[in-house]
Structure 1
Amino acid sequence: MATGTEPHPPRGGVRTGTRAAIAAPHLRTDRWWLTPAATAAGLLAFVVYSTWRAFANTDYYAAPYVSPFYSPCLAENCAPMRGGPNWEVFGAWWGLSPALLILIFPLGFRLTCYYYRKAYYRGFWASPPACAVAEPHAKYTGETRFPLVLQNVHRYFFYAALLVAGILTYDTVLAFRDETYAWGHMGLGTLVFLVNIVLIWAYTLSCHSCRHIVGGRLRHFSRHPVRYRMWGLVSRLNGRHALLAWASLVSVALADFYVYLLATGAFDDPRLF
């Protein structure tokens, strides 16, 4: 029972007069800060690595493998990729790394992804830092103002991500060639690319927008049995969306790093058959 002598809760964030009068910052006894800290560290590591590789403009092709960061290569200054996705859409005027022309689409898809929003909102902005931990900011406007209102373009980035995944699938098919571009090859890099493309497709199709596109705006699933089955499959993937987001993020970085090691001569691609 309130006695009128309790200290007034500090103002700001969710600590307003309409909230429960809890003086402590939170009532959690576990190490709740580990998850947002680990999330921030993981995302920061990927940002640093991908930025370095995107601006490096070198060591992204080792026959028959092309880095997923640079595919499709759209500039005239691309490294020679015999039989690969080297489309000189941009002329010689583009002097920067060709990766900057393509990475905007998969990165835009991930930056606007519902899971990644939660991850970097909590990890970098502490908005909120964790469940049952008070919002530290003075006010909350959600995604109703610039620049966060731009998160609504996520569905359009999803369409672009489908195209990118299709191109990376083509790259994976080309990974079954040897250094002379003859078919019938399988190296360690082929397996790396296979795992990567499976995770890329699984993450892309587990997207919330994909789930809505497949099964949304239907009044009766019984009248649309094909879409219902597709919706069920996508829903199962959607339940693992966070796991697939991290797994595909790691796999795409490993695929790029593997190509980098081959291109720099660190070792030769072990041939399985």
Structure 2
Amino acid sequence: MTATLPPTDGARATRARLPVRTLRTDRWWLGPLLTVLGLTAFLVYGLARALQQDYYWVADYHYLTPFYSPCLSASCEPGSAHFGTFPWAFPWFLPYAVISLPLLLAFRFTCYYYRKAYYRAFWQSPTACAVREPHGRYTGETRFPLLGQNLHRYFFYAALVISLINTYDATNALFHGANGGFGVGVGNIILFGNVTLLWAYTLSCHSCRHIMGGRLKSFSGRPVRYWMWTQISRMNTRHMHYAWITLGTLVITDLYVALVAGGAITDLRFFN
């Protein structure tokens, strides 16, 4: 056996010393830039709407925007608090959906895809493959606020409950048409389209896939779990797409409800 000689000082330098940040000639910066713009736009819009405390409920058709569900302030508009409220009115800086919004934000913040997206786009760690990052050293997820990333599996259960609440909101609106009975309008379609895609994003989560089959040594004798794991695995390949699509549908749903509630547009009814 040939003995391995210790590396010389020159061999210890594992990275090439280049005078430029990267030798790539393609538009490697475009993806991170679009990610920054997209996530920033959503966060600004969502924060503004959550603190507006108005135009979130259409009493005629029981449309409730997901940004205010469940509505928990004592000042919630009559009929919009499907699960009751706290005994006091919230100040302007406290969103009416004070429980669900932070949990959903935490679910997305710790999501495996979003972690990749904002690590590259905002923290440039790294910005792209074969692009030197500006940081002097790599610390991984060993510092605040990244220490809590593994809580994603628990935020997943909270997201499941909130998805059920959103489903209830969409279903409830079907039975409160113009005359108090069953009815369908454009708003109902938007609400159901949004909640369907939210379910797709939630169930395609890596944590959901792990729950279905991650702890099993073999699927033998467990055909139901194998089938569920297979379906979720197929959805998981599109998790990134659902992550972005649902940001768009959340904004579209909220904006539509706000416009109808404010009287800017009228909900088109197909019947009742």
Q: TM-score, normalised on structure 2?
A: 0.90
1:228 to 226, 229, 233: 226
**1:188-244 deviations in whole A, cap 9, x for unaligned?**
011101110110000000101111011111111122111111000000110001000
Letter in 2 for 1:92: W
Q: Secondary structure at the match of 1:255?
A: helix
Q: Secondary structure at the match of 1:106?
A: helix
Q: In 2, are the aligned partners of 1:57 and 1:99 still within 8 Å (CA)?
A: no
**1:233-268 deviations in whole A, cap 9, x for unaligned?**
000110001000001111011111111001100111
Structure 1 stretches of 5 or more lacking a match?
1-8, 10-15
The answer to whether structure 1 residue 166 and structure 2 residue 153 are counterparts is no
**CA offset at residue 100 of structure 1?**
3.1
Report the count of equivalent residues. Answer: 256
CA distance in 1, matches of 2:208, 2:99: 25
Q: In 1, are the aligned partners of 2:32 and 2:117 still within 8 Å (CA)?
A: yes
Please, which moves more after superposition, 145-154 or 237-246? 145-154
Show structure 1 runs of 4+ deviating over 4 A.
none
Structure 1's 93 and 168: CA in aligned 2 closer, same or farther, altered over 3 A? closer
Question: Residues 66-81 of structure 1: matches in 2 within 5 Å?
Answer: 66-81=64-79
The answer to whether structure 1 residue 39 and structure 2 residue 35 are counterparts is yes
2:95 to 94, 97, 109: 97
**CA offset at residue 126 of structure 1?**
1.0
Q: Secondary structure at the match of 1:190?
A: helix
**1:102-127 deviations in whole A, cap 9, x for unaligned?**
21111111111111111111111111
Partner of 2:180: 181
Letter in 1 for 2:14: T
Letter in 1 for 2:84: W
CA distance in 2, matches of 1:249, 1:138: 34
Q: In 2, are the aligned partners of 1:78 and 1:86 still within 8 Å (CA)?
A: no
Q: Secondary structure at the match of 1:119?
A: helix
**1:144-176 deviations in whole A, cap 9, x for unaligned?**
222211111111110000000000000111121
Q: In 1, are the aligned partners of 2:72 and 2:98 still within 8 Å (CA)?
A: no
**CA offset at residue 23 of structure 1?**
3.9
Partner of 1:203: 201
CA distance in 1, matches of 2:103, 2:38: 21
Q: Secondary structure at the match of 1:130?
A: coil
Q: Secondary structure at the match of 2:197?
A: helix
CA distance in 2, matches of 1:79, 1:73: 9
Letter in 2 for 1:107: L
**CA offset at residue 51 of structure 1?**
0.5
Q: TM-score, normalised on structure 1?
A: 0.89
Q: Secondary structure at the match of 1:99?
A: coil
CA distance in 1, matches of 2:116, 2:84: 36
Q: Identity, % of aligned pairs?
A: 52
Please, which moves more after superposition, 144-153 or 164-173? 144-153
CA distance in 2, matches of 1:131, 1:223: 43
Alignment RMSD: 1.7
Question: Residues 48-67 of structure 1: matches in 2 within 5 Å?
Answer: 48-63=44-59, 64-67=62-65
Please, which moves more after superposition, 25-34 or 172-181? 172-181
**1:16-55 deviations in whole A, cap 9, x for unaligned?**
8222444432121110100000010000000110000010
Letter in 2 for 1:70: Y
Q: Secondary structure at the match of 2:98?
A: helix
CA distance in 2, matches of 1:186, 1:232: 35
CA distance in 1, matches of 2:192, 2:30: 32
CA distance in 1, matches of 2:139, 2:246: 31
The answer to whether structure 1 residue 17 and structure 2 residue 13 are counterparts is yes
Partner of 1:5: none
Q: Secondary structure at the match of 2:220?
A: helix
Q: In 2, are the aligned partners of 1:54 and 1:100 still within 8 Å (CA)?
A: no
